Amino acid sequence: MVAPDPRVLLSAGLSGTPLAAIGAQPTVTGQPAYRPLGPNLLRNASFEAWAGGLPEAWETGLREEGPSVYEPATAAHHGALALRRVTGTGKPEADLGQGVVIKPGTQYSLSAWVRGAGGALAISEFATQAGRSRSLKTRKLNFVGGDSWQRVRLKFTTGSNATDAGVRLSGGQVLWDAVQLEQGRTPGAYRADGLLLERPAQNLLANSSVEVNADRWNGLNSYVSVVASTDYSRYGRHGLLVRKLQSGRAATFQAAKLKPGTAYTYSVYVRLRDGKEITNDILRGWYYEGTRRPQGVDTALIGERNRPTMRWTAAGGGWYRGRFTFEATTRVGLYGLLSTEAIRADDVYYLDGAQLEAGRHTSSYLDGSLGKGYSWAGKPFASVSARSRTTVEYDTTIGREGALLFWARPEATAPHNATLMRLGNLRLAVNGRKLDLREGGKTLASAAWKPGAAQSYAVLWKEETVSLWLNGTRVGASRIEPSVTGAALTLGPAGGWRFPNAVVGDVSLWRTSLTAPELAHLAAHAPLDAGLHSVRDQYTTVVTRAADETGGDIRVEWSVDGSTWYSWERGRGIHNWDLGSGEGVKTVWIRYTDAADNWLVYTDTVIRDTTPPARDERRSRTERGDGPLQ
């Protein structure tokens, strides 16, 4: 943790559950979704997002017991939440894991921050080819924990034929946070997930996650039925079991109404019974236009145009997501999958999370059952569904001088002139491989916008000059006096469909402009942490660290009333804070003094609420508040 600079007006990590920030709290429209911002191959690696009692994107072999084994803990090292294993079972299937795609013969580093009793960090490599997978090698690091957070690291080079891997966390009473798998032998600074700014969309398939029955689904040379098992469902508690009736081709599909001349993308999650890799030699796309009835359709007569190649990507747990894009020529048609001769008679596979949407790229899966920001057009599971736009707005008191810093990574192709964020009359817009800084219809400066690359951006304004910075280097400037005083900072467009399809995180606003050395430093380091916002326990912990650029000593003191001060060791402090018996807002004061007796005071608050929140299906219970407070 780094002591906040007094010039910081707003700092928001946007790394999952805590959209809250140091400074103004956000107004959120829609349902936030998150994606990795940095080079980390693992999703939800700081355990900020939870669903069904487990951290999203992670799996356990305990099936129905899994949600009772793990819970979120507020004693986090990064962000607001960490992972706590609450049972001491030694069953290997109790371990938490996540599958990833890796490159053969490549150096990787796997790291995690841990606290508490000892445990083990492991990764297993697999070679998957032509639908067959075999285990190659497992590397395991046993560690002994402690009362404070420590980082454990595992460095390795993958085998010459490795294609995918499984990361596994095991141990008893231990906290996990900021798990990172990245290329290279030296682990970099952890960078959490960011906020995904993707367009609103409609899923034109009804009953796409097969939660009620198999209605709307049909098969040619295949039989479909609902399977009620979390082993074979990607969303909810049910999936679609598809069984081939006899040898040859077989199609599984739904009917839909489309607009001729419009491009559409079909996507679906599929799992083979043995969880092996899916390729186009096994399953590919299929559609048949001009009819809504499968009767009379002969799969043997369908040409290559109606059997498009699908792009398959590993989604973890043996699931693969496939997608293909086509242009509709009629108003009605049948859309789905075609299994090849590689799937034999009486073989089965499992299907879930099917989606048909307008456009040439795939957005995250949606249906009306996913909560706030999602809706059905009619009866649940029997109609099309939609995802509303997601925007985040912070009210600010910015003045005639200041700075805006953030990290961003393009997730997919964006429409022309898509709005990334807006501050007063300044707007950052995506145009192809450029990020333009605009004022009205005028482009003031442009920076590189590289697909898949997370980069640091900054906008500075001072003395009627506005400049744009990329990774700590100025890339353009214009003479203009921006109208940003008192303006709100908005992430995503306020209206329309021109979303940037990008991941944004580590956003900060500053009261003053910044120097080039300061920007270079901030571009290379993780930003401030928003810390805790509410606790149940009477005791929490205050953690701070500060440094003088000249190398001089910094004296750190803290107070609970702003007048009586308690000293810490030079430059850092860790101290238990007794919040007292009462509830409500509690305030702590931190004072930093350098060798020349220059000083600054920073305050932060935490709410003590002894009434625990109710446990629900999307979020487990809140842990006691003994984590670090900014």
User: Strand pairing partners for 97?
Assistant: 59, 168
For the chain, what's the residue count? 630
Task: Return the higher-pLDDT residue of 167 and 134.
Answer: 167
Residue 158 confidence (pLDDT): 94
Neighbours of 399 (CB within 10 A): 13
- Alpha-carbon separation of residue 37 from 46, 191, 456 (angstroms): 12, 7, 11
pLDDT (tens digit per residue) in 512-534? 888 888 888 777 655 444 444 45
User: Strand pairing partners for 592?
Assistant: 556, 600
Query: Is a pLDDT exceeding 50 seen at residue 314?
Result: yes
Task: Tell me how far apart the alpha carbons of residues 184 and 139 are, in angstroms, rounded to a whole number.
Answer: 16
Task: Tell me how far apart the alpha carbons of residues 303 and 338 are, in angstroms, rounded to a whole number.
Answer: 12
- Mean pLDDT check: name the lowest of 352-366, 393-407, 429-443, 463-477: 393-407
Residue 236 confidence (pLDDT): 80
Residue 602 confidence (pLDDT): 63
Query: Is a pLDDT exceeding 80 seen at residue 380?
Result: yes
Q: What is the mean pLDDT of residues 265-277?
A: 88
Task: Return the higher-pLDDT residue of 615 and 174.
Answer: 174
Give the tokens for residue 23: 């400074």
Give the tokens for residue 578: 């007794």
Query: Is a pLDDT exceeding 50 seen at residue 336?
Result: yes
Cα 353 from chain centre? 18
Which residue, 543, 626, 622, is CA-closest to 590?
543
Residue 614 confidence (pLDDT): 35
Residue 560 confidence (pLDDT): 77
**DSSP per position, 329-388:** -SSEEEEEEEE-TTSPTT-EEEEEEEEEEESSS------GGG-TTEEESSSTTSS-EEE-
Which residue, 165, 69, 171, is CA-closest to 120?
171
Residue 332 confidence (pLDDT): 94
Query: Is a pLDDT exceeding 90 seen at residue 266?
Result: yes
Neighbours of 305 (CB within 10 A): 9
Query: Is a pLDDT exceeding 50 seen at residue 617?
Result: no
pLDDT (tens digit per residue) in 172-193? 778 999 999 999 888 777 777 8
**CATH for 39-190?**
2.60.120.260
pLDDT (tens digit per residue) in 557-576? 777 777 777 776 554 555 66
**CATH for 201-370?**
2.60.120.260
**CATH code 2.60.40.10 region(s) in the chain:** 534-629
Residue 215 confidence (pLDDT): 87
Residue 590 confidence (pLDDT): 76
Strand order through the sheet with 418-423: 27-29, 391-394, 489-491, 418-423, 426-431, 434-439, 442-448
- Mean pLDDT check: name the lowest of 42-46, 167-171, 217-221, 606-610: 606-610
End-to-end CA distance of the chain: 7
Residue 627 pLDDT class (50, 70, 90 cuts): very low
**CATH code 2.60.120.200 region(s) in the chain:** 391-524
pLDDT (tens digit per residue) in 58-108? 887 664 444 457 888 877 787 767 898 776 555 666 788 888 888 899 999
Q: Fill in the amino acid letter for 10.
A: L
pLDDT (tens digit per residue) in 252-261? 999 999 999 9
What percent of the chain has a predicted confidence (pLDDT) above 70? Answer: 80
Q: Which CATH number fits domain 534-629: 3.30.750.24, 2.60.40.10, 2.40.160.40, 1.10.3720.10?
A: 2.60.40.10
Task: Return the higher-pLDDT residue of 275 and 14.
Answer: 14
- Mean pLDDT check: name the lowest of 162-176, 204-218, 586-600: 586-600
At 516, give phi and psi (nearest 5°).
-60, -45
- Alpha-carbon separation of residue 355 from 137, 206, 319, 358 (angstroms): 36, 9, 15, 10
Neighbours of 348 (CB within 10 A): 16
- Say if CB 10 and CB 21 are below 8 A apart: yes
Residue 628 pLDDT class (50, 70, 90 cuts): very low
Query: Is a pLDDT exceeding 70 seen at residue 159?
Result: yes
pLDDT (tens digit per residue) in 32-53? 888 888 788 888 888 877 766 7
Residue partners of 105: CB distance under 8 A and separation at least 6: 157, 158, 159, 160, 162
Give the tokens for residue 87: 């049972």
Average pLDDT, the chain: 80
**CATH code 2.60.120.260 region(s) in the chain:** 39-190, 201-370
Query: What DSSP state is assigned to residue 310?
Result: P
- Mean pLDDT check: name the lowest of 209-218, 320-329, 399-408, 562-571: 562-571
- Mean pLDDT check: name the lowest of 267-276, 295-304, 405-414, 427-436: 295-304
Task: Return the higher-pLDDT residue of 602 and 291.
Answer: 291
Neighbours of 474 (CB within 10 A): 15
Q: Which CATH number fits domain 391-524: 2.60.120.200, 1.10.20.140, 3.40.50.720, 2.30.42.10?
A: 2.60.120.200
Residue 625 confidence (pLDDT): 27
Give the tokens for residue 233: 């469902």
Residue 457 confidence (pLDDT): 95
Task: Tell me how far apart the alpha carbons of residues 484 and 462 are, in angstroms, rounded to a whole number.
Answer: 11
Give the tokens for residue 424: 């007063």
Q: What is the mean pLDDT of residues 143-148?
A: 83
At 253, give phi and psi (nearest 5°).
-160, 175
pLDDT (tens digit per residue) in 459-492? 999 888 999 999 999 999 998 877 776 678 899 8
